[in-house]
Copies of this chain bind each other. A is one copy, B any other.
Amino acid sequence: MTRTRLTAEERHDQLIGAALTAFTTGGYAGTTTDQVARLAGVSQPYVIRLFGTKQQLFIATLEHAAYRIEQRFRAAAAIQADLSSIGDAYDELLTERELITVLLHGFAAGADPAIGPVVRACFGRLVETVRELTGAGAEEIRDFFAHGMLLTVLGAMNVVGRDAVAPEKWMSDLVGSLDLPKARQDPGGPA
């Protein structure tokens, strides 16, 4: 069984992908480095070797998620540079769950002295990016992220998104008037 050897950089990227999936489900403390390793088909000590510590792996994952979200925002703004366009991009990210939800886990772990600065920087960068791309005022930016956070939390709770539970009335009140991503649920296509 000749294993395909990857370059350290390729493996690094692949591991961050696996970490994204793993941390999305379990959060920082609730995820083991072994889970990440298995997802990537690699031994657990090798994960540690590449990233030093579990904490550094989590931080790298957060930064990667924030970077990719930023990219999606920029792509959306390249087509139409306003908040509604970026809002659509956000909705798409929400159905994919991982990038947004892992960031929420970062927020929740923001009290950690090592993770806090990273997650604040990531979030601040996103705020600046949206303002730069749209030229929107402070109030608009605030409202944009406010509704984004609501949707993010509802997504983490499985109130909206791919694995959403059966809706109740209070849910539709919260989500009803937003152009929510429920209508865009994956109709069975490939991941």
This protein's copies in its complex:
2
| A173 to B104 alpha-carbon distance, docked (Å) | 20
| A28 to B108 alpha-carbon distance, docked (Å) | 11
- Tell me whether chain A's interface is mostly helix, strand or loop, or mixed: helix
| A157 to B116 alpha-carbon distance, docked (Å) | 6
Could you tell me if A108 and B110 are in contact, using CB atoms closer than 8 angstroms? no
A67 at the interface (CB under 8 A from B): no
A13: chain B residues at CB < 8 Å are none
- Shortest distance from the beta carbon of A30 to any chain B beta carbon, whole Å: 3
Could you tell me if A173 and B138 are in contact, using CB atoms closer than 8 angstroms? yes
Interface string of A162-184 (1 = CB under 8 A from B): 00010010110111111000000
Could you tell me if B119 and A157 are in contact, using CB atoms closer than 8 angstroms? yes
A119: chain B residues at CB < 8 Å are 157
| A145 to B156 alpha-carbon distance, docked (Å) | 15
Interface string of A34-56 (1 = CB under 8 A from B): 00000000000000000000000
- Shortest distance from the beta carbon of A111 to any chain B beta carbon, whole Å: 6
A159 at the interface (CB under 8 A from B): yes
Q: A128-B170, A149-B146, A149-B150 are in contact. Are A157 and B110 (CB under 8 A)?
A: yes
A105: chain B residues at CB < 8 Å are 108
A150: chain B residues at CB < 8 Å are 142, 145-146, 149-150
A68 at the interface (CB under 8 A from B): no
Q: A127-B170, A146-B150 are in contact. Are A111 and B158 (CB under 8 A)?
A: yes
Could you tell me if A139 and B177 are in contact, using CB atoms closer than 8 angstroms? yes
Binding site for B on A (CB under 8 A): 25-30, 104-105, 107-111, 116, 119-120, 123-124, 127-128, 131, 138-139, 141-143, 145-147, 149-150, 152-153, 156-159, 165, 168, 170-171, 173-178
